[in-house]
Structure 1
Amino acid sequence: MRTISTILSTTVFLFAIPVFCSAQNIHYKKIDNGIIVYPINNNSSIGKQIKLNVISDKIIHAVITSADDFSLEPSLMVIPVKSKPEYTVSEAGDYIQLKTHALIAKVNITTGQIQYQDINGKNILEEKQNASRLFKAVSNDGEASYQIEQIFNSPEEEAIYGLGQHQDDMMNYKGKQVLLLQNNTDVAIPFLLSNKNYGILWDNYSITKVGDIRDYQPLSSLGLFSKEGERGWLTASYSNKKTGEIVVKRAESDIDYSFLSDMKKFPDSFKMADGIVKWEGKISSGYSGLQHFNVKYAGYIKIWINGEMLVDKWRQAWNPGSAVVETEMLKDKKYDLKIEWIPDGNESYLSIKCLTPIPQADKNQYAFSSESGNEINYYFVSGANADEVISGYRTLTGKAVLMPKWAMGFWQSRERYKTQEELLGVVKEFRDRKIPLDNIVLDWQYWKPDSWGTHEFDKSRFPDADGMIKTLHDTYHTRLMISVWPKFYTGNSNYELMNKNGFLYKRNIADGRKDWLGYQSTFYDAFNPEARTMFWNLMNKTLYKKGIDAWWMDATEPDIHSNLPIWERKQNMTPTYLGSGTKYFNAFPLQNSKGVYEGQRKENPNDRVFILTRSAYGGLQRYAAATWSGDIASRWEDMKSQISAGINFSLSGLPYWTMDIGGFSVERRYEKPNEKDLAEWRELNTRWYQFGAFVPLFRGHGQFPYREIYNIAPENHPAYKSILYYNKLRYRLMPYIYSLAGASYQKDYTIMRGLVMDYAADPKVNNIADEYMFGPSLLINPVYKYGVTTRKVYLPEGNGWYDLYTGKYTKGGQMITANAPYNQMPIYVKDGSIIPYGPEIQYTDEKPADPITLYVYGGKDGTFTLYEDEGLNYNYEKGAFATIQFSYNEVSKSLTISERKGAYKGMVKDRTFNIVFINPKKPKPLNFNQKPDKTIQYNGEQTITKFK
């Protein structure tokens, strides 16, 4: 038992007030906004001290340390929260209890276990009892730290979401492993959201495993049998894919060609660019149950187990993909295994690792395990629903500042526009064809070949960048987003300036590595505040002062050199200004965006910042940054995986997400396609554009073939017609979409909504990975299979649903087969919806949203709030915005348009609302030329309209 003198001599706290439970025992003491508990069994699986801070009635901050003092390091992710919530502290039996108006947090005095309960004492979440934590002392680059682990109990029916953006086509992560490791196409955000209406924000920046945290094992951990039946290996055959001749045949027990350094493992006589590899034999497991296989791949990969194809994928060599697949196996039973791999070029990657079934004792739990941290540090966030939980996340990490309104329109991009003439020509073609457009994106290499990091245009290809930008703005009413990497080539003046001030990571230079263009380079240290300031000043001097509108912050994982082992990636960014690369690995994109956001707002306090970044971290939303899903492939399965990737990203608390419509990396069969491949390419892009029109940000991008609508298909082709239709529909929906953006700031709303957000009471939605709500009204169902004209759609319980196009009504709580002709994606509207459509426009600020056509869907009461502001500046932060609430009452069949609240410069004071009323017995199509049921002239005063 620790004495009073020991406790007071080893712990220093401001506002600490000891609480004497008896003359001999102190179990806790009060501090400002909380308590510190001293567990009796204070070992490495419990911790010496447990601090609980009350952030709000619904948010508790838990910090557990194995040291004598708590760390004083400020969080990069969490901002200070000014609050003085009321709470009480009491001791009863084995527990110290902290109670707010909404929560109870209880700490077991002996074991240190924490339980979180509602105000009635019902458990919401509890840490696992006994051995639920781990502190393992480690040293990273001479820095003292701990590997840390925290386990939580999880009831069987619980589903967990969030945790960033991942490409494994999974929605519910219960029973799975999620690796929080920044990588091209994978985004690490340490916020977990439960269908039990709570969240965990894990305040740690190192590489972290969540869920089933066991290490994936090599393939040799399974029983392996060769093609001939010998135990211990598979039969690997390396062949020439043209002749079929086997070059090398050998025994292999592991398939692990994960990184550049693994290329030497291949047979010397095998020419990868001309080759094909097959592994054949049988596998067995020592356990019955669901086996998980983690596949990292580049090139074409197919895997069969017992004749069932589990993997059929492709990815370009320089950016390997990943897949997690499952299969049931019986203990000691042998299963046929066949793997067929066609590498992509002279360097290609493949690894297959496995996890045996979760032990029975560990099934109803999940854990966080991080490589480096001073202490276990997390926030428990509760709410009545998922929206309240996400609001709690933003209370901790910052408001989602509003993007400029034009960012909600369509952006055209490609890899890459090589000249000024080419870029302007594309925008002119859009305007001539009357294809709506707001933003053109200039990707990398607008600089001279040896001048990466100068941010200067190559005058031989962009002779008048200032004039180009002026033409975009004044003639074509189009914004320009430009690519800026945190990367510098050696030898140029910006490199020398950053280097002279000690602002660069130097290991990549010391190792003499060259990038894929043949030059030496490195990245700047975004953790250094002075380096961030200098980085922005360089951007400002050569780009922002020219009139650049927005920033494409690429490779912010940081991808200093692609396809290196993780230990080398950490080494390449060590030391950071704050500490080792191991400790701060995942937080680079947050700090990089912070510097650009703060720099631009200081330079120009009026115009809204807009950043697109390839990676993200908790809190990124406060820096006006959106994230795209990286360099994904142009394949149907990759399109499908974007659905769950985008939903889970949004469930992680960040509302702005997008993707490369059509995929970035393209199979060679599409570059010079035959008739069959061209037909598939056009259909793939058509389906992807249909999907892309209903994510928070609408953006086409990719490698050749070019992604402009007129390069995909001629204007008389159904692909062209469908893409144009959904582009125009997106712009018609701008009053709806911008209102969702406004709500994301004003009310912490989420635009792209997993079904669990609105239908948590319907257990059938927990695992649905291919449907989502776009705002409160639209159920989006992308079509991700080639040649199909129907798809299965689950209509959630609790609402009736209208077909968007026909107005036909269908009851909820059932699976239906929805029509999905080539030119149309199934979209359903929930009853009680009120959807505002604006006039047809070519860009977002072409004209005011007047008249507005209100589609009112009867069958249930409903509301919608129209949000409007100036669209380009930060006056909304000062209250310069207006809202109009629409309310439909089913009993009285009436629509109330409430008195307008608020005002802003340029507001439309007198406007027209054309109202189309639809009910289950009176279907109406989506047709903006049809005669409205009512027309209301609105001057800001309340008006009530009744329907027959």
Structure 2
Amino acid sequence: MRLIKLVLVFFIAGSSFLYAQNPDRVYVGYEVLENSVTVAVAKGTYIFQPYTSEIMETSFIPAGEAIDSVSHAVILVPEKVLFTVSEDNASVKIDSEGIDVLITKKPFHIQYFFNEEQVISEKTGYFKDETHEKIEFNLEEEEVLFGGGARALGMNRRGHRLELYNRAHYGYEERAELLNFTLPIVLSSNKYLLHFDNAPIGFLDLDSRKDNSLTYETISGRKTYQLIVGETWERILENYTLLTGRQTLPPRWIFGNFSSRFGYHSQKEVMETIAKFKKDSIPVDAVILDLFWFGHEIQGTMGNLEFVRDSFPEPKKMIEDLKQQGIKTILVTEPFILTTSKKWEEAVDEEILATNNAGKPFTYDFYFGNTGLIDIFKPEAKTWFWNIYKDLTKMGVAGWWGDLGEPEMHPSALQHIIGSADEVHNIYGHYWAKLLYEGYREDFPNLRPFILMRAGAAGSQRFGLIPWSGDVNRSWGGLKPQPEISLQMGLQGLAYMHSDLGGFAGDLEDDELYVRWLQYGVFQPVFRPHAQEEVPSEPVFKNKKTKALAKTAIELRYKLLPYNYTLAFENSKTGNPLMRPLFFEEPGNMELYEIADTYLWGNDFLIAPVLSDSLTKKEIYFPGTGNWFDFYSNKKYSGGSTAIVSVQEDHIPTFVRGGAFIPTAKPMQTTANYDASTLDVYYYFDENTKVSSGMLYHDDGETPDSYTKGMYEIVRMESVHDGTALNLKIKKEVGENSSSEIELVRMHIENLQKPIKFVWLNGIKYTAKNYMHRGKLDIPVNFYQDITTIKIEFE
């Protein structure tokens, strides 16, 4: 029955494809291999390889070319997927447990189906022109498209031809067609994801000609793509990150506040700045040293990669003194070794540099000086570079910032050991992150790395890469596209995309802009103010009012540490992003596919950042999957409604889903002071929410793979409301190799307007006044037993 429907769908829609046939694709025959199907055509061979029932890989190997099996993105080993192949005079059908493929013989045409509905089809398929090899697909008229990496174009990227070439855009604002992460990924409102599994540069043409075509263009390499489907957006991302790898759980301290600027010139300046944070009781967890740690000047010193001892006389002591205060030290590094740097001769002698065609170091000029480039793909270069990182890590450096890793200047004539600059440009940052990740695994196996990178590739999340959105302008125009950029990257697996809070480029001093950017930063993956030093990025150098507002935002960031860390754990297990677009809630609501100025922070927060100056009101749509409560006033907003919300100076509009459990922490100066023994959980009672659940994840915050090692605690919370009573169940799960740190959770019941008759705690009846505090119901949960039950009986 299924195959009959597939054929019927083809004949109904088939006429629209007749004009786009490729005469080189004349069907010859097919062969079934162990877990794949090959289909021969006149000028090449297709290979259809299921990885799971919801992931199908298609490769085309032109006649005369060998199969290239090397993927820089994919790590999943194909599972055994049951399928059958049938053939008649008109077609060949691959009928699987999930994705089905219908191959029409004449004219040759490929269609993909999931749940008996067409997902996508090739149009012209593979072909070549004078400059590129291409794969072309059909689009439906109303499809909305996302992907292509980090860009500022609006959420719907259909209509653009996106260049695939990682490149910085200094001082960008509302529009940036090209940024540091360009990924060969397309996602559709029709709930599929296409990943073009190829490294060389090229383009993604998302219907720029307005002819309902999607085209991948490349200068060379593999003609391979994976089609990924799923019932929900969450499932699609789960499948994609299963294919390419999931983000490793970062150290807990990265969810704190960073002190950062371009840049600190001396050890004295670093220590004095951190002292100001302490004096003002503003929480802080890390300090980032930009390029002045290895040179007095911006130009001429890159590649020294060692502390300048007159300005940083005692780096080891500085790092240790900061550590004693709970502050981690992060250093910037770049992959360029200038001919004027202290390590130039060593780099030449060790043969670690990319070369010209004669095999000599390729040198060229760029902003920072005359330079060579580390060949990150060369074993000797990786060893040389890692040894520098290893020695500094032994000194106490806790994290690394990899800057200019597109690489910023990468001449096409330059040669790497595995190919030309243009063939590997977009995976350079990917392999730089891999070097650090694997180095830590080998030499510091008990530490989670912090790897901040300005460029990467599909799958870089599995190396723990933390991306940021580049040199954004310090302006309202620079702030406006930041949610879009982070939401788009979360859809493409890199869920920690964040921005330089306050903006980076320029010397604009706008206190309202600064505060609004930091308030938004509370609900983005990494809280890191950073800017050129003409105007300080650190809150301790702001005026009294601005400092106070910034401090309020930072303190909220720390209060939400248990919630945020749990999000990070969930991301590491499922691939679901921390920032999520509204259409996750209502996939059938096409209007939501355009929205980026309101988003979900995890499952339970709805965030509407203030992205323009002097804003007093903001129109907000509340997803229809539940009711929502103002985080500050507890005012209720009905799901599926739109409301005009007043904008307050001390916070951005923030709402909590009805039925949510929000775990929070006590105030702290640094995450080193985080005390998990007593936590607060706020349950947002909603009359219309009959069943809900929540989770709190905890571990030591630094051991890699703590969950798989059994070094964790999870508190699982459930609610059931039947109209007469609210029943809560709290259960703690302790890993087999974990000590129990969470001793007490205080359950705060919000929005409970109904009169309470009794409170039953583990079956024992109490009057409500036993648990009333300032007019609210607060119930302590001591973990003397694995499961605690609470029944709130209404009058």
Q: TM-score range by the shorter chain?
A: 0.7 to 0.9
Question: Does the 8 Å contact 1:756/1:766 carry over to 2?
Answer: yes
User: Does 2:163 align with 1:179?
Assistant: yes
* Cα offset, 1:589, TM superposition: 0.7
Counterpart residue number, 2:556? 729
User: Does 2:47 align with 1:200?
Assistant: no
* Cα offset, 1:917, TM superposition: 2.9
CA shift digits 1:68-114 (9 cap, x unpaired): 44423411111242522222222244322223222212222344432
Question: Does the 8 Å contact 2:353/2:361 carry over to 1?
Answer: no
Question: Does the 8 Å contact 1:487/1:523 carry over to 2?
Answer: yes
List aligned pairs for 1:447-846, cutoff 5 A: 447-449=294-296, 450-474=300-324, 476-492=325-341, 494-506=343-355, 513-517=364-368, 519-541=369-391, 543-560=392-409, 569-571=410-412, 574-667=414-507, 670=508, 681-703=510-532, 704-714=534-544, 717=545, 719-846=546-673
Counterpart residue number, 2:282? 435
Alpha-carbon distance between aligned partners in 2 of 1:110 and 1:526, rounded to the nearest angstrom: 47
Alpha-carbon distance between aligned partners in 1 of 2:673 and 2:624, rounded to the nearest angstrom: 40
Counterpart residue number, 1:17? none
Alpha-carbon distance between aligned partners in 1 of 2:550 and 2:90, rounded to the nearest angstrom: 64
Question: What is the percent sequence identity of the aligned residues?
Answer: 26
With normalisation by structure 1, the TM-score equals 0.74
Question: Does the 8 Å contact 2:125/2:137 carry over to 1?
Answer: yes
With normalisation by structure 2, the TM-score equals 0.87
Change (3 A) 1:820 1:489: same
Counterpart residue number, 1:936? 781
Structure 1 residue matching 2:183: 3-state secondary structure: strand
* Cα offset, 1:903, TM superposition: 4.7
Alpha-carbon distance between aligned partners in 2 of 1:459 and 1:814, rounded to the nearest angstrom: 61
Structure 1 residue matching 2:481: 3-state secondary structure: helix
What letter is aligned with 2:458? Answer: G
* Cα offset, 1:513, TM superposition: 4.4
Counterpart residue number, 2:257? 410
* Cα offset, 1:371, TM superposition: 2.5
Counterpart residue number, 1:49? 45
Structure 2 residue matching 1:38: 3-state secondary structure: strand
Question: Does the 8 Å contact 1:882/1:903 carry over to 2?
Answer: no
User: Does 2:8 align with 1:159?
Assistant: no
Counterpart among 860, 884, 887 of residue 718 in structure 2: 887
Question: Does the 8 Å contact 1:909/1:939 carry over to 2?
Answer: no
Most deviating of 400-409 and 89-98: 89-98
Change (3 A) 1:196 1:890: farther
Change (3 A) 1:442 1:69: same
Alpha-carbon distance between aligned partners in 1 of 2:401 and 2:454, rounded to the nearest angstrom: 8
Most deviating of 550-559 and 781-790: 781-790
Counterpart residue number, 2:693? 863
Question: Does the 8 Å contact 1:37/1:109 carry over to 2?
Answer: no
Counterpart residue number, 2:230? 383
Alpha-carbon distance between aligned partners in 1 of 2:775 and 2:460, rounded to the nearest angstrom: 44
User: Does 2:14 align with 1:29?
Assistant: no
Change (3 A) 1:403 1:510: closer
* Cα offset, 1:897, TM superposition: 1.1
Question: Does the 8 Å contact 1:762/1:797 carry over to 2?
Answer: no
Alpha-carbon distance between aligned partners in 2 of 1:626 and 1:682, rounded to the nearest angstrom: 28
Alpha-carbon distance between aligned partners in 1 of 2:535 and 2:701, rounded to the nearest angstrom: 34
CA shift digits 1:96-138 (9 cap, x unpaired): 222322221222234443211124x21122222xx23313476
Structure 1 residue matching 2:435: 3-state secondary structure: helix
Counterpart among 243, 263, 271 of residue 424 in structure 1: 271
* Cα offset, 1:902, TM superposition: 2.5
Change (3 A) 1:549 1:377: same
Unaligned runs of 5+ in 2: 1-26, 170-178, 756-771
Counterpart residue number, 1:279? none
What letter is aligned with 1:465? Answer: P
Counterpart among 145, 148, 153 of residue 133 in structure 2: 148
Alpha-carbon distance between aligned partners in 1 of 2:237 and 2:594, rounded to the nearest angstrom: 20
Structure 1 residue matching 2:234: 3-state secondary structure: helix
Structure 2 residue matching 1:166: 3-state secondary structure: coil
What letter is aligned with 1:866? Answer: L
Change (3 A) 1:908 1:174: same
Alpha-carbon distance between aligned partners in 2 of 1:408 and 1:851, rounded to the nearest angstrom: 19
CA shift digits 1:517-541 (9 cap, x unpaired): 5x32122111223322221112223
Structure 2 residue matching 1:766: 3-state secondary structure: helix
Change (3 A) 1:665 1:899: closer
Counterpart among 118, 125, 132 of residue 123 in structure 1: 118
Counterpart residue number, 1:911? 744
Question: Does the 8 Å contact 2:355/2:416 carry over to 1?
Answer: no
| Count of residue pairs brought into register by the alignment | 729
Question: Does the 8 Å contact 1:193/1:200 carry over to 2?
Answer: yes
Counterpart residue number, 1:896? 729
CA shift digits 1:133-164 (9 cap, x unpaired): 313476xxxxxxxx222222222332222321
Question: Does the 8 Å contact 2:734/2:740 carry over to 1?
Answer: no
Alpha-carbon distance between aligned partners in 2 of 1:97 and 1:532, rounded to the nearest angstrom: 47
Change (3 A) 1:864 1:93: farther
Structure 2 residue matching 1:802: 3-state secondary structure: strand
* Cα offset, 1:817, TM superposition: 1.3
* Cα offset, 1:648, TM superposition: 0.4
Alpha-carbon distance between aligned partners in 2 of 1:632 and 1:920, rounded to the nearest angstrom: 46
What letter is aligned with 2:529? Answer: G
Structure 2 residue matching 1:744: 3-state secondary structure: helix
What letter is aligned with 1:631? Answer: D
CA shift digits 1:261-284 (9 cap, x unpaired): xxxxxxxxxxxxxxxxxxxxxxxx
Alpha-carbon distance between aligned partners in 2 of 1:917 and 1:70, rounded to the nearest angstrom: 64
Question: Does the 8 Å contact 2:50/2:78 carry over to 1?
Answer: no
Change (3 A) 1:529 1:197: farther
CA shift digits 1:861-891 (9 cap, x unpaired): 3211211112101133423222221112232
List aligned pairs for 1:181-330, cutoff 5 A: 181-185=165-169, 186=179, 187-212=181-206
Most deviating of 89-98 and 653-662: 89-98
Change (3 A) 1:114 1:502: farther
Change (3 A) 1:111 1:901: farther
Question: Does the 8 Å contact 1:412/1:699 carry over to 2?
Answer: yes
Structure 2 residue matching 1:915: 3-state secondary structure: strand
CA shift digits 1:837-881 (9 cap, x unpaired): 111112123132242222212232321121111210113342322
Question: Does the 8 Å contact 2:677/2:742 carry over to 1?
Answer: no
Structure 2 residue matching 1:127: 3-state secondary structure: strand
